[in-house]
Amino acid sequence: MAKSRFSHGSGPSQRQLRVGELIRRRLSDVLARGDVHDADLAGMSITVSEVRVSPDLRSATAYVLPLGGRGAEDAVKALARNKSELRRMVVKGLDLKYAPDLKFILDETFDRMDETRRLLSDATVRRDVDGA
């Protein structure tokens, strides 16, 4: 069974979901506009698929993937290197008591979807699924 992105069993609160989505949108906008002055980030188109916020809203984990998946590790390193500047830009204008610490993780969801499709298209699996 895959490990859940949630650290607790009950799932995120509505506030966590709302703040996570606000941060995701802001982070996506900042990266799309190229507001961060880093040569490595300037040439990349990075998708922010999801942001998970801790229950106390003090830390946020952004799941990211560069367009095409190439240079993924370099993208995560560049984002981590610029996290304080990104943090400042992202929380500007948000009504939060604390500016959450940002952490960047490579989003492997698309890889898992591709692997699932590959498995489901296997002849043996197709036979079992169609026979059920």
Model pTM score: 0.74
pLDDT top residue among 94 and 118: 94
pLDDT value at 52 more than 90: yes
Residue 93: per-residue pLDDT:
78
| Dihedral (CA of 112, 117, 122, 128) sign | positive
Could you name the CATH architecture of 14-107? Answer: 2-Layer Sandwich (3.30)
Residue 1: which pLDDT band, with cuts at 50, 70 and 90? Answer: very low
* Span 58-80, average pLDDT: 91
Residue the block writes with tokens 């709302």: 18
CA distances from 128 to 44, 114, 122, 125 (A): 43, 20, 10, 5
pLDDT top residue among 42 and 13: 13
d(CA 67, CA 44): 7
Residue the block writes with tokens 């980030």: 41
* Span 15-28, average pLDDT: 95
Residue 110: per-residue pLDDT:
59
d(CA 46, CA 82): 14
pLDDT value at 15 more than 80: yes
Domain boundaries, the chain: 14-107
